[in-house]
Amino acid sequence: EALLDVEAVRRDFPILQSSVCGKPLVYLDNAASAQKPQSVIDRLDRYYKEQNANIHRGVHFLSQEATVAYEDARKVVARFINAAEPKECIFTRNATEAVNLVASSWGRANLKAGDEIIISTMEHHANIVPWQMLRDELGVVIKVVPISDTGEFLVEDYKALFTAKTKLAALCQVSNSLGTINPAKVMVEIAHQQGVPVLLDGAQAIAHLPIDVQDLDCDFYVFSGHKLFGPTGIGVLYGKADLLSAMPPYQGGGDMIDRVTFEKTTYRGIPERFEAGTPHISGAIGLATAIEYVEQLGHEAMIAHEQSLLKEATDKLLEIPGLRIYGTAGDKVSVISFTMDGIHPNDAGTILDADGIAVRTGHHCTMPLWQRFGLEGSIRASFAFYNTREEIDLLVTGLGKVQKLLG
């Protein structure tokens, strides 16, 4: 923890100085969306004050300035995830749109009735529903990798799901509900041995782990900017250049075309082909600033602090009678999902909120995962590098109050 000056880091995030219900905000809902440092807020402000114009189309000064900033942002994203080339990084609205892009474009071009897609029990709805829509449209078959009672991805069962008809594995790298870190590299290797490409959902991994898409060797990687301390409304689809280049467009419109006549239109290469219309220019630029913030902080310091918070919070929560934690005790990010005997998660969340403590309650967009545990959902506390030990104590005190009132 000596690596990170938490009090200094907290001063970078204006919202962390605010109060809720007259109490200092204790923000423990980082897995849903993370807070933004002043540098990101300032960058958005500067963009609209000094650089705002549409990109790629103008000869005038501002348009060129905005274009350079937008394309520089793509380079920052590529560097952050170690993509071989910036053009392999497509800007989308969020992780959800990135999955939908792959399902619509790659899916329709490459799949037919009877083909199989492998997902896992712990997927977010964003990595389930687009494939179900494709199933309903094309007649593809979805196969689901089971998980253990402690929420681990079962690698041997995964291996056994592959057949000659398997065409894609779409799997999360980190579970948003349990925090489990999956063996992504092994999962990719196994699929590749069968000649099957892999989409990794990195929405929960991106803010907690260093990501190297070339080392992972995944074919697609998706994430959202807002969980990485960047703006909402901006996300990324990484894809290997040859795969993306062979895919048909997702949406049609301006910017993605080469030449248009009423008879025939030809399309541009990547990344433009997949960025129809005016993109979220300020969002991409703000995301790059968020990435630079994380890079400056360093993954080592961030991970060390988050893991020490995770350990302390786990130990303290387990001392509360009737509290049960779901998910592995092994490799996980700083997410703790739990239930309390006889207490509805929403009621607990409401009582905590009155003390300024923000946690998530419910199914966290992973209904099938909770069905696996015979539950409707959980209470989820998720920590970022700017959270503190004092906040863990406030959570524990708050849960004591919950028990007194409802238990």
With binding defined as CB under 6 A, does residue 334 bind ligand PMP? Answer: no
107 or 398, CB closer to ligand PMP? 107
The least CB distance from residue 299 to ligand PMP, in Å, is 19
384 phi and psi angles, rounded to 5 deg: -110, 175
The least CB distance from residue 177 to ligand PMP, in Å, is 8
With binding defined as CB under 6 A, does residue 126 bind ligand PMP? Answer: yes
The least CB distance from residue 401 to ligand PMP, in Å, is 28
With binding defined as CB under 6 A, does residue 201 bind ligand PMP? Answer: yes
Only one of the segments 46-54, 105-113, 197-205, 378-386 lies at the binding site for ligand PMP (rule: CB under 6 A); that segment is 197-205
With binding defined as CB under 6 A, does residue 96 bind ligand PMP? Answer: yes
124 or 240, CB closer to ligand PMP? 124
Give the position of tokens 């992504």. Answer: 184
With binding defined as CB under 6 A, does residue 124 bind ligand PMP? Answer: yes
With binding defined as CB under 6 A, does residue 95 bind ligand PMP? Answer: yes
Cβ atoms of 211 and 221 closer than 8 Å: yes
Residue of the chain from 155, 358, 365, 375 that contacts ligand PMP (CB under 6 A): 365
With binding defined as CB under 6 A, does residue 94 bind ligand PMP? Answer: yes
Residue 164: is it exposed, middle or buried by C-beta count within 10 angstroms (0-12/13-18/19+)?
Answer: exposed
Residue of the chain from 204, 282, 378, 387 that contacts ligand PMP (CB under 6 A): 204
Only one of the segments 3-11, 122-130, 244-252, 344-352 lies at the binding site for ligand PMP (rule: CB under 6 A); that segment is 122-130
With binding defined as CB under 6 A, does residue 176 bind ligand PMP? Answer: yes
Three-state SS string over the chain comes to CCCCCHHHHHHCCHHHHCEECCEECEECECCCCCCCCHHHHHHHHHHHHHHCCCCCCCCCHHHHHHHHHHHHHHHHHHHHHCCCCHHHEEEECCHHHHHHHHHHHHHHHHCCCCCEEEEECCCCHHHCHHHHHHHHHHCCEEEEECECCCCCECHHHHHHHCCCCEEEEEEECECCCCCEECCHHHHHHHHHHCCCCEEEECCCCCCCCCCCHHHHCCCEEEEECHHHCCCCCCEEEEECHHHHHCCCCCCCCCCCEEEECCCCEEECCCCHHHCCCCCCHHHHHHHHHHHHHHHHHCHHHHHHHHHHHHHHHHHHHHCCCCEEEECCCCCECCEEEEEECCECHHHHHHHHHHCCEECEEECCCCHHHHHHCCCCCEEEEECCCCCCHHHHHHHHHHHHHHHHHHC
The least CB distance from residue 362 to ligand PMP, in Å, is 12
105 or 176, CB closer to ligand PMP? 176
Q: Could you say which residues in the range 232-291 bind ligand PMP, by CB under 6 A?
A: none
Query: Which residues form the catalytic set?
Result: 365
Only one of the segments 109-117, 121-129, 346-354, 393-401 lies at the binding site for ligand PMP (rule: CB under 6 A); that segment is 121-129
97 or 355, CB closer to ligand PMP? 97
With binding defined as CB under 6 A, does residue 172 bind ligand PMP? Answer: yes
With binding defined as CB under 6 A, does residue 203 bind ligand PMP? Answer: yes
The pair of structure tokens assigned to 85 is 């080339």
With binding defined as CB under 6 A, does residue 224 bind ligand PMP? Answer: yes
Only one of the segments 134-142, 146-154, 196-204, 244-252 lies at the binding site for ligand PMP (rule: CB under 6 A); that segment is 196-204
With binding defined as CB under 6 A, does residue 30 bind ligand PMP? Answer: no
Q: Which residues bind ligand PMP (CB under 6 A)?
A: 94-96, 124, 126-127, 172, 176, 201, 203-204, 224, 365
